[in-house]
Structure 1
Amino acid sequence: MAENGTTGKPAVEESKHTIPTERCGDVTVFVQGDLVNHDKKAVFLTIHDLGCNHTSFHDFVEHPAMSEIKQRSVFIHVDVPGQEDNAPDLPDGFVFPAMQDLGDAMSTVLDMLDVKFVVGLGEGAGANILARFGLAHPSRVLGLILIHPTSTVAGVMETIKDKVLPLLIPSFFYPAHPRDI
């Protein structure tokens, strides 16, 4: 496996797709795994939190404890508009899609990839988007794993608490961090 030049970690094998949606513009999607015979595999749809992108799920999927699941699964990682690696600034006049619109757009993403059912895995704003997708399209969702879902906009203090404090005191927030196992 090739090495990622910026992090020194092994490069993750994934294919990039740009999917046009009605209300959210082009959505960038990365497929980790083989979509051939995907109807015989577990398909996970992941959506990241604000300030992150699809790579926030790489360590999870690539962890040795996930090797058995990874062999039998496909992971579809969605990048929220403007959150892609090296994303250009959003154009003047761009109206960021509402959470409901992003949730509805997931149906288009799955249609374009010819995927009928998924297990959703989302964190923060991504969990909110997947919850909305699940409510709007329950027949397409086998289950949802929602990590730190938010139903309202996070304030500055909540963002600082959630993003900065764990960096300052990792042993308090993550006593047995997966990297230490």
Structure 2
Amino acid sequence: MRVAGFSASATLPPSNARSTQSGNTYTSEAKKSQLLESTLELGRNWALAVAISSAGTAAFYTETVDGPVNWEERVFIGCILASLAWMFFAVLRFDEGLTRALQGKGKVHRFAGLMLYGVLTLAGTLLVLQVGKFADNNAIVKICDSKADSPTSKIYKADECVRLRAQRQAKIDRLEGN
């Protein structure tokens, strides 16, 4: 069916894209919009991957008295693997959007895209694996605080606890103006 020069199977550009005189080419504004949308999607997916790994870390540091034994490790490993997979697919999706935005720009842009892909994958993996450090540090602080009144214990004399007390004393001194 043809109506005023359009066929029923014609694809229309998005409403925010301006077309040039050739009729089907999008302007750089539409490509920038694709790149922005890909970047925002990458951020959302990274946040979800960090949330998944945080849930696994919380499960790992859960102390249970009754119930199944060693479930924490399995949940932790499952969450970390799911988080890493999610991060990997998020970067793949971002690379797909980047490739569309830079379509026809040559091999240099494609090489830059692959380098960015590698850097983002590495950064995402390190981010996911570093989430566990926060819970680990929190556990050390709680243990140090539990033995704060017994200077003869090995825990009180441990390097981490000595460093923690020194940092706290420095903050107290700064707040008091000393």
Structure ranking higher in strand proportion: 1
Same fold (TM over 0.5): no
Which protein has the larger Cα radius of gyration, Structure 1 or Structure 2? 2
TM-score range, shorter chain: under 0.3
- Scaled by the length of structure 1, the TM-score of the pair is 0.23
Which has more helix, going by share of residues?
A: 2
